[in-house]
Structures are given as structure tokens and as C-alpha cells.
Amino acid sequence: MLPLVTSYATDIMISTPFGMISAIGTYELQIMGRMKVLMWLSVFEGLTNLALDILFAGPLGLGVAGTGYGTAVAVTLRSIATMIYLYRKTDIYKAGNGRTEFSDIKEIISKGLPESAYMLVTALQNYAMIRILIVYFGDDGGTIKAVCLFCYLLTNVLMNSVQGSIRPLVGLLSGAEMRKWVRKLMQQGIVVIMILAGIVVVFIEIDPVFFYHLHGVSDIPEGGVASLRLYALCIVFIGVNAIFRMYFANRGAQRFSTILTLAGNSTMPLFAAALGARFPAPAIWLSYLFATLIILIAGIIRYVIQVRRDNSTEKADIMRLYMSVKPENAIKASKTIQNFASEHGYSLKLANRARLCMEEMVAYSVKAAGKKNIRNQIMVCFSKDEVIFMMLDDGECIVLDEDKEKQSMITDNYALLKKVAKSIQYQYVINLNFTILKFREA
């Protein structure tokens, strides 16, 4: 068995770098809203893997090592196809002469820490748990663990689809500091996950034997049915905790989320050892539920604290103006911003800066796309000492080329915006340019 496992694992590890590239491409496609492309890439990888596994393990007689080769080749081809699509069909890697600063790298790493911590602790946790299971179940512990993991992966397909769909929107709304909308989106994601995953869990509880047979296990180990039923209780909460990790990462609470993930999941082997010593062996699987609930409760407490903090710091006098602006009506719409500020007693100086920038941004979106039927969705937030201007348009991805801006300094690009606005943020999300400009009194 050891040579077979070693051979298979070696093949998989060789393809790991390509798997990482593929995972990054998957997130980028999710951010841009290319879900159909993502689906076809997944289908391509699955069919290629199946065909190569049959070829290598059958006609070529490579056995288990052949299935490893098949998986490695399929992952590699998927990553290559993903990169070709991103380079040829999107603008995501066109950044002009923009340079990555150390602060950018630090921010990227910090936002990814909670998810990295989860992956790390899960790997260590699985090692510890399999050792404990073998003590109490013998060789059957591996079989039960495999079926439980199989059921989790089936459910995780649904939970990941929800997370993937809301991830770009959470990032977009967080960048616009729309905290209330971020919370609402997160709450909707949790509800959908609980419904979808809950349906699968109900089926597992009703007929766990079916899932053993589906996994290819006909001789169910003693205590296997009870073990699967107890394990399934935690699956929904795992999905909910994933949504909380996403929320905390976008709200700047990465350190809390990382520590909570590491500390909470580290308790699982302790619970397992304690339960195994005092109760029948299947009770060990309740350790997953206990550890998951600890993380969930701590996350909810931090979330409530965060909401109260947001409510106490949110400006009471803030007002918002929403507009859908066609390019030919840009000047008329810009006057609406001025009139709104005048009617409600906000700074005309800041409103006029927002007016100017809106006109130039609309003109830039038309020029960059080479067409006039660009949809511009605009929101302007007014407060006593600040105006925040946000614009979504479906034009071409904007390339912020510093050198060209310094050479030309033309007024129909973002060079003017950088001079007028206090700060500027830009991202390309769901095939849309999303720009945030902030104006404050000097």
C-alpha cells in the first residue's frame, strides 16, 4: 500500500503549483462574473481527468500511479486553459506601468491569512483525527472518515457556489464602505447556505447507508451509520463560518479571524480524545460539531460588537443621491449634484469637484470603450465635511498608466481626478469599472 500511496501522492504534489495557479484564476473569474467560463473549465478538467485515469490505469497498465498522472495532467491543462483565457479575453492583467508596492503585498497576504490558517489547521487536524479514529475504530476509522469527507465535499459544492457568487459583491461593497449592505449580503448568503446545505444534511440523516453505497462501501463498519449522522450535524456551520471569515477579511479583522480559526479548530482533537474516553466510539464525531460551534459563537459575538461599533460611528447626517446617467446627459446630471448639495446645505465646493470628476469619468468611459451606449450607475454620499462619489460603468477595463498621464495630462482621463479628489480607489469587478472618489475640505 505504501508504494502505491507514495506514487500517487508524488504525482499530485508535482501538479500542486499548477493547481495554485488554477485556484487564483478561479477567483479572478469569479470576481469578473465569468461563471459560465468557470463552469466549462471545471467540466473540461473533470472529463480530462476521467479519460486520462482510464487510459493510464487501463490500457497503459500504470495502476494507482496512472490515476495520479491523470489528475496531475488534468490540473495542469486546466491551469493553462485558465491563463490563456484570462490573457486573451480579459483585461485583468493589463495594469499599464503600475508597480506592486510592498504595502500591496502585505495587504494581500493579510487578507488571505484567515483562509490560509483554515487550510493549515485543517491539514493538521485531519492528521490528529485519523490517529484518534484508528485507536477507537481500528482500520474502519479510515473508511468512515473517507465517507464523511465525501459527504462534506458533496455539500461543499453547493456552499462554495454561494461563497463564490457573493465574494466579488462583498469586496465591491466593502470598498465603497457600504457596511450595512455588506452585512445584508452576508446575511443573505448565510440563509442560502443553510437552506442548500441543510437539505443535503437532512438526506444524510434520513439515509446514511445510501451515501456509504454511493461512495462504494458495501460492508458498512460497526458504528459507521451513527458516526456519519453525528458528523453531518456540523456541515452547515462550516459553511456559515466560511462566510464569517470572508466578512472579517473584508472588514479588516483578519487577525481576529486567523486566531479564532487556529484556536477553535485546535480544540477538535481534544474534544475527540475526551469523548472517545467516556462515550461509545461514534460520539467522537461530535468533536467536529463542538469545535465548529465554538468558532461560530465567537464569530457572532465579534459580529455584534462590529455592528454596534459601526452604528455608533456612522454619520447621522449622511444623505445619498442615486443616478443612472447616459453619456449625453452627463452635464445635466452633474448639475443635479450641485442642486442636491444646495438644497440640503452641503458644501458646494465639494459638490462642484464631484460634478467635474463625474463629467470627465463619463467622457473617459465612452472614449475607452469606443461606444456611447455605456451604462453609468452613480451614487453620491453627502455629509458635513465629505463627499464620496461612486461610479459603476460597463466600459473597458481602465488602465492607469502613470507615464502616459504625466506626458499628456489630458482632462478626459484619470490624471485630473487624482488632482481634484482627496483619494481615488478603483477596481474591476463583475465586468464593471468601479471607482470611488473622496472629496474633503483641505
Q: How many residues does the chain have?
A: 442
Distance separating alpha carbons of residues 295 and 305, to the nearest angstrom? 15
pLDDT at 179 (0 to 100): 78
| Helix ranges restricted to H, 279-422 | 286-313, 330-344, 348-369, 402-408, 414-420
Is the overall model pTM greater than 0.95, yes or no?
Answer: no
Average pLDDT, the chain: 78
Q: What is the mean pLDDT of residues 232-260?
A: 87
**Which of 174-188, 347-361, 400-414 has the least mean pLDDT?**
400-414
pLDDT at 203 (0 to 100): 94
Grid coordinates representing 321 are 443621491
Reply yes or no on whether the pLDDT at 112 is more than 70: no
Distance separating alpha carbons of residues 346 and 386, to the nearest angstrom? 9
Q: Which residues pair with 323 in a beta bridge?
A: 378
Under the banding of pLDDT at 50, 70 and 90, the label for residue 55 is confident
Q: Which 3 state secondary structure label does DSSP give 425?
A: strand
Q: Which helix (H) or strand (E) holds 162?
A: helix 140-175
Phi then psi for 52, rounded to 5 degrees? -70, -35
Q: What percent of the chain has pLDDT over 90?
A: 14
Reply yes or no on whether the pLDDT at 115 is more than 90: no
Distance separating alpha carbons of residues 375 and 388, to the nearest angstrom? 20
Q: No. of H helices and E strands in the chain?
A: 16, 5
Distance separating alpha carbons of residues 110 and 105, to the nearest angstrom? 9
Grid coordinates representing 422 are 482627496
CA trace torsion 345, 351, 355, 357 (10° rounding): -160
Q: Which 3 state secondary structure label does DSSP give 382?
A: strand
Query: Which sign, positive or negative, has the C-alpha torsion 72, 73, 75, 79?
Result: positive
Q: Are strands 319-325 and 432-440 parallel, antiparallel or unpaired?
A: unpaired
Distance separating alpha carbons of residues 157 and 170, to the nearest angstrom? 20
Report which of residues 109 and 4 the model is more confident about.
109
Report which of residues 252 and 314 the model is more confident about.
252
Q: Which residues pair with 424 in a beta bridge?
A: 437
Distance separating alpha carbons of residues 295 and 302, to the nearest angstrom? 11
Reply yes or no on whether the pLDDT at 27 is more than 80: no
Distance separating alpha carbons of residues 95 and 88, to the nearest angstrom? 15
- Tens-digit pLDDT profile for residues 341-384: 888 888 888 888 888 888 877 777 777 666 667 777 888 888 87
Q: What is the mean pLDDT of residues 124-142?
A: 81
Distance separating alpha carbons of residues 392 and 170, to the nearest angstrom? 15
pLDDT at 407 (0 to 100): 43
- Contact 413/400 with Cβ under 8 angstroms? no
Report which of residues 5 and 263 the model is more confident about.
263
Please identify which residue in the block is written with the cell numbers 490540473: 75
Reply yes or no on whether the pLDDT at 410 is more than 60: no
Please identify which residue in the block is written with the cell numbers 482510464: 54
Q: Which 3 state secondary structure label does DSSP give 223?
A: coil
Q: How far is residue 85 from each of residues 12, 47, 73, 89, measured CA to CA in Å?
A: 24, 19, 18, 5
CA-wise closest residue to 113 among 241, 242, 255: 255
Q: What is the mean pLDDT of residues 417-438?
A: 76
Q: What is the mean pLDDT of residues 228-250?
A: 90
pLDDT at 303 (0 to 100): 92
Reply yes or no on whether the pLDDT at 209 is more than 80: yes
- Contact 426/435 with Cβ under 8 angstroms? yes
Highest mean pLDDT among 170-174, 252-256, 338-342, 417-421: 338-342
- Contact 67/56 with Cβ under 8 angstroms? yes
Q: Which 3 state secondary structure label does DSSP give 357?
A: helix
pLDDT at 101 (0 to 100): 64
pLDDT at 399 (0 to 100): 56
